[in-house]
Chain A
Amino acid sequence: DTEVTQTPKHLVMGMTNKKSLKCEQHMGHRAMYWYKQKAKKPPELMFVYSYEKLSINESVPSRFSPECPNSSLLNLHLHALQPEDSALYLCASSQGAEQGRYEQYFGPGTRLTVT
């Protein structure tokens, strides 16, 4: 089973709203990722958690706040977003480089629209 689940599938939010994106995997993977993807562009890395600790923050604005409550769950808290933040947000997981395994498995994504 290589399934990563994400909720919600679609989200429309105003610039003053607070919302959260959720991601879950039950593959025992120890690395989890958030990506942002605009149309016709490759995924753009935002955050990496390794063993439940934040290991990479790609200079993402503070209006995006990641959280890793446990090894299976990853959240992305959104607050005061801008219309240009509208994109497909992808979660991914992998066994992790520490295990010598680098392939990442992606969830279906959340299509976010900021109005």
Chain B
Amino acid sequence: GQNIDQPTEMTATEGAIVQINCTYQTSGFNGLFWYQQHAGEAPTFLSYNVLDGLEEKGRFSSFLSRSKGYSYLLLKELQMKDSASYLCAAPTRDIGYNKLIFGAGTRLAVHP
């Protein structure tokens, strides 16, 4: 079957580092996405990993291990505005990879 798992909720302190994990099983791997979604707003694209390793983009980094079916999103120097849901997603071979499977999302709360 196809499945993406991520923790439901996490809390962290302003200025700290937090790691949000994601494990996946999809039909035909073609990369993994991370999206950020603030409450009541649309998801915004954060990162796309297709090769193993860490990709850094400012305060946010994303890691992928294809052999382990595992990814994580690393957020450094946390700010209050980072409080949001973080969605892990992967394109599925169904209908030629035009379909994304989403995890349930991880709600991150950043406290002062």
Residue ranges of A at the interface with B (Cβ–Cβ < 8 Å): 2, 31, 40-43, 45, 48, 50, 55-56, 88, 90, 94, 96-98, 102-109, 111
- The answer to whether B98 and A96 have CB atoms under 8 Å apart is yes
- The answer to whether B107 and A40 have CB atoms under 8 Å apart is yes
Residue ranges of B at the interface with A (Cβ–Cβ < 8 Å): 30-31, 33, 35, 40-45, 48, 87, 91, 95-100, 102-105, 107
- The answer to whether B30 and A102 have CB atoms under 8 Å apart is yes
In addition to A56-B95, A88-B40, A103-B45, 12 A-B residue pairs with Cβ atoms within 8 Å of each other are A43-B87, A50-B98, A55-B98, A97-B98, A102-B30, A102-B48, A102-B97, A102-B100, A103-B33, A104-B100, A106-B43, A108-B41
- The answer to whether A56 and B105 have CB atoms under 8 Å apart is no
Neighbouring B residues of A105 by C-beta, 8 Å:
45
User: Given that A41-B104, A43-B102 are contacting pairs, would A48 and B43 also be in contact in the complex, using a CB cutoff of 8 Å?
Assistant: no
Question: Once A and B bind, how many residue pairs between them come within 8 Å at the CB atom?
Answer: 60
CA distance A55 to B102 in the complex (A): 19
- The answer to whether B91 and A48 have CB atoms under 8 Å apart is no
Which residue of A has the minimal Cβ distance to B95?
A56
Of B45, B98, B102, B107, which is within 8 A of A48 by CB? B98
Neighbouring B residues of A40 by C-beta, 8 Å:
105, 107
Neighbouring A residues of B30 by C-beta, 8 Å:
102
- The answer to whether B91 and A43 have CB atoms under 8 Å apart is no
